[in-house]
Amino acid sequence: MIKPIQWLGDSLKNVREFSDSGRYHVGRELRRVQTGEMPTDWKPMITVGLGVAEIRIHAENEYRIIYIAKFEEAIYVLHGFAKKTQQTSKRDIDLAAKRYRELQQERTKK
């Protein structure tokens, strides 16, 4: 079964601004996650939340997708961005964490 993807905030808009190669790799990696596989290059993002992971895309630029796939109904993309420095910026981590908290609040209402 292929799990649907829910794009939170402006994450889809951001990914659409990636290069052609970057978008291709994002699609390929998210498809792996949708089918229950692990991305080829990823790391846990416990600073954002339990179960949150970051897909690392190495194209002509560095791109990152922060997502959570532990919920039954969907994969939630919390944030997508081009990475410009060695360390992920506090702004990017804070934004993903904020969207994760909002997602958790929304899910508890159901």
> What gap in Å lies between CA 77 and CA 90, rounded to an integer?
18
Of 90, 88, 96, nearest to 68 by C-alpha is 96
- For residue 104, the domain's CATH number is 3.30.2310.20
Domain with 81 in it: 5-109
> Is 110's pLDDT higher than 70?
no
| Tens-place pLDDT, residues 47-79 | 999 999 999 999 889 999 999 999 999 999 999
Q: What is the pTM of this model?
A: 0.94
Q: How much is the pLDDT for 86?
A: 84
| Tens-place pLDDT, residues 12-35 | 999 999 999 999 999 999 999 999
- The total of structural domains in the chain comes to 1
**Which residues, in sequence order, are CB contacts of 94 under 8 Å at separation 6+?**
none
